Amino acid sequence: MFTINLCLSDFISPLLTYHMFVYSSYMGIWQFSYNMCVFYAICQGFCGLMSIASLAAIAFERYARVTMPQSKWAHMSAKRRLAIIAFLWLYCAMVTTPPLYGLGKYVAAGFLNTCCFDYIDRSLSTRIFILGLFALGLGVPMCVIIYCYVGIGLHVSRTNRNRNISRTVPPSSSSEGTAFCVEQATGLIVGGSVVIEQGAKRRQRVLDKELKIARLTLLIISVFVAAWVPYGTVALLGQYGPIGIVTPWMAMLPSVCAKSSTLYNPILYAYKDVRLQRGIRKYVLQHSSAQNEKSVSASATAAQSVREPIVLTTEI
């Protein structure tokens, strides 16, 4: 469900805003009203923050499934997931809408063909808004992501170390001369040898599956951060760097790079997710077979309709 929310945020941004950016770029200047400029900037900021917040939620879910597989957070109900998604929507709206109440403002930027928060103005309200935007919109989700993946790494390292230790434990001798092995978390004492439980193997397969999904999520997060870091750097330079250091080209290129982040997630999922590839392949095969059956049936019907019976007549 968090992945669906991520896809939704990546879909809303280009659907509602990219046509305005393309048309304004073609005309050379922003072609819509100031209210549309504010709408464009809020939509861009909201969807960007929603993406990183959704990635943080996915990272926490992977952390719970790997490190706490029996907890309620590892098996969240649909109601709990919807509550978290609703909180994320309210959180991102709270972070991106202060300019509507006078704290900061949205203006045309770059070559005046796009809109974003005013990172050139160095007034107190603008600085409070920008610092809050970076701290709450980027800092908090990144702290959650870093904490979760460090926890996953430590858990995997500890699990592998315990597994290696269990394999090297020597058998001990009893008074009857029968060897018994020390029972491990995934072992069962049976006549002097450790028999690995089937449940432990199943848990290991689940762990490997969750780690594979976690690696995919980490890759998507890395690409997302790499796309947005130049934009954030330019904004901070506009606030705290030398006056006039941010040129139109310097402002425009990171903005385009950040907007392109919505294109990466589907590509990465299609390239890395085996289940998605299997589903797409199954759909294509079923669709192509259905089309072939329809074409064969239509051809047979057409051939039967044009075939006329041959009638032999004799003259008397």
In the chain, how many domains are there? 1
Q: What's the confidence (pLDDT) of residue 296?
A: 60
247-303 per-position pLDDT tens digit: 878 878 887 787 777 777 667 766 666 666 677 778 788 877 766 666 666 666 655
pLDDT at site 164: 63
Task: Say if 10 falls within a structural domain.
Answer: yes
pLDDT per residue rounded down to tens, the chain (316 residues): 788 888 888 888 888 888 898 899 888 888 999 999 999 999 988 988 898 898 889 889 888 888 887 788 878 888 889 999 999 999 999 999 999 988 888 988 878 888 888 888 888 888 899 888 888 888 898 899 889 888 888 887 787 777 666 555 554 444 444 444 444 444 444 444 444 556 666 666 766 776 777 777 778 778 878 888 888 888 888 878 787 777 878 878 887 787 777 777 667 766 666 666 677 778 788 877 766 666 666 666 655 655 555 444 444 4
**Inside any domain, residue 243:** yes
Tell the residue number behind the tokens 């330079």, with chain if given.
Answer: 237
Is 300 contained in some domain? no
Tell me, yes or no, whether 81 lies in a domain: yes
What pLDDT score was predicted for residue 18?
85
pLDDT of 309 reads 52
Q: Angle between the 261-272 and 2-27 helix axes, to the nearest 10 degrees?
A: 140
User: What's the pLDDT score for residue 185?
Assistant: 44
How much is the pLDDT for 155? 82
DSSP string, the chain: -HHHHHHHHHHHHHHHHHHHHHHHHHHTS--S-HHHHHHHHHHHHHHHHHHHHHHHHHHHHHHHHHH-TTSTTTT--HHHHHHHHHHHHHHHHHHH-GGGGTSS-EEEETTTTEEEE-SS---HHHHHHHHHIIIIIIIHHHHHHHHHHHHHHHHHHHHHHHHHHHHTPPPEE-TTS-EEPPP-TT--EETTEEPPPHHHHHHHHHHHHHHHHHHHHHHHHHHHHHHHHHHHHHHHHHHHS-TT---HHHHHHHHHHHHTHHHHHHHHHHHH-HHHHHHHHHHHHHHHHHHHHHHHHHHHHHHHHH----------
Query: Distances from the Cα of 285 to the Cαs of 28, 162, 298, in angstroms?
Result: 46, 45, 20
CATH (domain of 11)? 1.20.1070.10
Task: Determine, yes or no, domain membership for 240.
Answer: yes
Domain hosting residue 134, numbered range: 2-170+217-276
- 119 found inside a domain: yes
User: Is 193 within the bounds of a domain?
Assistant: no
Q: Is residue 305 in a domain?
A: no
pTM to 2 decimals? Answer: 0.71
pLDDT value of residue 13 = 83
